[in-house]
Amino acid sequence: MKMSIAVVFSALSFGERKLTKYARVAATAWFGRSVLIKLAHILERIGLAMVGAAGGLYVAVGMMRMDNDFFRNEWIVLLMMLYGGFGFYVGIDLPSRLAQTVESTRSGEWSLGTDAAAIASGAGTFLAASAVFLSVGIIVFDYIMRDGFSVMVACCWAIGTSFQIAAGAIGRSKVIVEDGQ
């Protein structure tokens, strides 16, 4: 009697797992991604772009303190803001399917596209954030820096933002190739 009850419970649990599997498939087919989640992702991307543009503004204001008339031009400020916004929009939030491929590779295996995108995104974010941090400190403390240091901060920001754009391009091309599109 005990054996037959165990067999019945085993069969029920197997059927329950199978039913759960089909219920998930049906729910995924009917509902898909929520509109609210898509809206949240769009707002997140816009927020990242605004942070990048603000970072470009701070670095540009730090550059405007130099005695060079080229950096005192408002078009340079606008270009740095647009470049920063674009870099943060494209590079920081890599596609979710790329993150899934990182987990699917073995721990000792090197994946050039996936690892390069993650490394470039991390390094770019660090370089750009460091430059913005230094620029804000210079502005807040009203410290007059040498022109060479200001140029170094601006180059650090430009290189970091370029790394972010490269990471976004690598990550998105990797996702497109894997999807076969």
Express each pLDDT in 50-79 by its tens digit: 999 999 999 999 888 887 788 888 898 999
Question: What number of other Cβ atoms are within 10 A of residue 27's Cβ?
Answer: 10
Query: How far is 174 from 124, CA to CA, in rounded Å?
Result: 19
- The answer to whether 132 and 158 are in contact (CB under 8 A) is no
pTM: 0.68
Q: Which of these, 133, 157, 38, lies nearest to 46 by C-alpha position?
A: 38
Query: How far is 38 from 48, CA to CA, in rounded Å?
Result: 15
